[in-house]
Structure 1
Amino acid sequence: MDNFKEYVRYKNYFLYIIIFYIVVNVASALFASEQDRLFWNKRYDTETYILGKEPVEFLKEYINILPRGKALDIAMGEGRNAVFFAKNGFEVDGCDVSEIAVKKTLELAKENNVRVNAFVADLEIYKPPKDTYDVVACFYYLQRSIIPQIKEALKPGGMVIYETYTIENWERGFEGPKNKDYLLKTNELLDLFKDLTIIYYRELVLDDKKAVASLIARK
């Protein structure tokens, strides 16, 4: 009987430790998400569009090879790429952690007489619906944990278009993230999507201003 009581006591002790660990990690994640939201709200809280209203050149260059239909723009910022998708005939969902970014996206869509379903989403929590999108786009945002969900969100035959900074950006002292966790290693983007059919891949320095990796792949 004493051994059984001892077993129960130790079992409860370890259960408490596990619960404590989970609570601490959830609280830390929520705090980090709130910090991200405040940071991006402050950055986007301007009358102008901080990155302009034109889409990234990579998207402009390859829009015509992407399958028409429904597109998801992850971490869309102020909506320049989401609006470009809509102007090219896509049904567009776009998400960002910043409600100010979402507001500016909706304003830009209205200015261009198109519709974007823009909504606030914390990408540490949000999971896109599976087998839903013909295109999933992500530009200048790196969260490795969401890559499997990007793949799942694509319909069979759907494509991902992705471009973001590489470690070379930091090594050359260009503007951009200073935290190496937000920078791709050599060929890392290619490796992250190696289970898809790679349509296009490159790593290069653009206009002597930023070092990026760019990818288009089909599910």
Structure 2
Amino acid sequence: MVVNVTSALFASEQDRLFWNKRYDTETYILGKEPVEFLKEHINILPGGKALDIAMGEGRNAVFLAKNGFEVDGCDVSEIAVKKTLGLAKENNVRVNAFVADLEIYKLPKDAYDVVACFYYLQRSLIPQIKEALKPGGMVIYETYTIENWERGFEGPKNRDYLLKTNELLDLFKDLTIIYYKELVLDDKKAVASLIARK
């Protein structure tokens, strides 16, 4: 069964409208399967409570819930939140999905065993991600690098949303790094992937 949609704080109206328009389709624009990096590493993550940041249509949040996590997930788009709740119901799992503007919303401290973030970069949020982890908690993070733009792949064109070489590693250097890699996936996107423990 699925849970409540809590309307928290909205990002700029422009961002909210952009993402609502993007997600306003009959289908799930990125599909219903989780990102490969999460699937490949689900077994090394500690159990318990997880937060999926900028969750989109919920494919990763639902996967975490199917693997026994108590999941909170947030996104700026209320349409994305509704689609997440629908996907959770379809999979007979519970996700606490809510609308949040991550430029304003404050993550709770020492609240999560896992914080997941895929294909979203807000550098100012990194300290909060670390604080949101319980001691021993883990962050799993994957997003685009500048190489993605340099190769002309699909994805963000604004360099502010692209990681420099080893930047993600540097942002989490005060945690214990379990896994870090920068690579090109299927000759379609250049990413940095990280798992780290508090």
Give the direction of change, closer, same or farther, for the CA distance of 1:163–1:23 in structure 2 (3 Å limit). Answer: closer
- 1:121-179 Cα offsets, whole Å, 9 max, x none, are 00000111100000000000000000000000000000000000000000000000000
SS at match of 1:129: coil
Give the direction of change, closer, same or farther, for the CA distance of 1:132–1:167 in structure 2 (3 Å limit). Answer: same
Q: Considering only CA atoms, is the larger Rg found in Structure 1 or Structure 2?
A: 1
SS at match of 2:139: strand
CA distance in structure 2 between the aligned counterparts of 1:56 and 1:217, rounded to whole angstroms: 18
SS at match of 1:95: strand
Give the direction of change, closer, same or farther, for the CA distance of 1:24–1:119 in structure 2 (3 Å limit). Answer: closer
What is residue 37 of structure 1 aligned with on the other side? 16
Q: State the shift of 1:32 in Å.
A: 6.5
Question: 2:57, 2:83 within 8 Å by CA — same for their partners in 1?
Answer: yes
Give the direction of change, closer, same or farther, for the CA distance of 1:38–1:187 in structure 2 (3 Å limit). Answer: same
What's the TM-score once normalised by structure 1's chain length? 0.86
Question: 1:163, 1:215 within 8 Å by CA — same for their partners in 2?
Answer: yes
Question: 1:137, 1:162 within 8 Å by CA — same for their partners in 2?
Answer: yes
Uncovered stretches (5+) of structure 2, i.e. residues with no partner: none
Identity score, percent: 94
Question: 1:33, 1:124 within 8 Å by CA — same for their partners in 2?
Answer: no
CA distance in structure 2 between the aligned counterparts of 1:202 and 1:210, rounded to whole angstroms: 14
SS at match of 1:214: strand
Question: 2:6, 2:99 within 8 Å by CA — same for their partners in 1?
Answer: no
What is residue 70 of structure 1 aligned with on the other side? 49
Instruction: Provide runs of 4+ in structure 1 moved above 6 Å.
Output: 22-32
SS at match of 1:204: strand
- Structure that is richer in helix per residue: 1
Q: State the shift of 1:25 in Å.
A: 32
Range with greater deviation from structure 2 (31-40 or 181-190): 31-40
Which one of the candidate residues 195, 199, 202 is aligned to 2:174? Answer: 195
Question: 1:132, 1:155 within 8 Å by CA — same for their partners in 2?
Answer: yes
CA distance in structure 1 between the aligned counterparts of 2:190 and 2:131, rounded to whole angstroms: 28
Question: 2:71, 2:94 within 8 Å by CA — same for their partners in 1?
Answer: yes
RMSD: 6.0
Give the direction of change, closer, same or farther, for the CA distance of 1:194–1:48 in structure 2 (3 Å limit). Answer: same
Q: How many residues align?
A: 198
Q: State the shift of 1:60 in Å.
A: 0.0
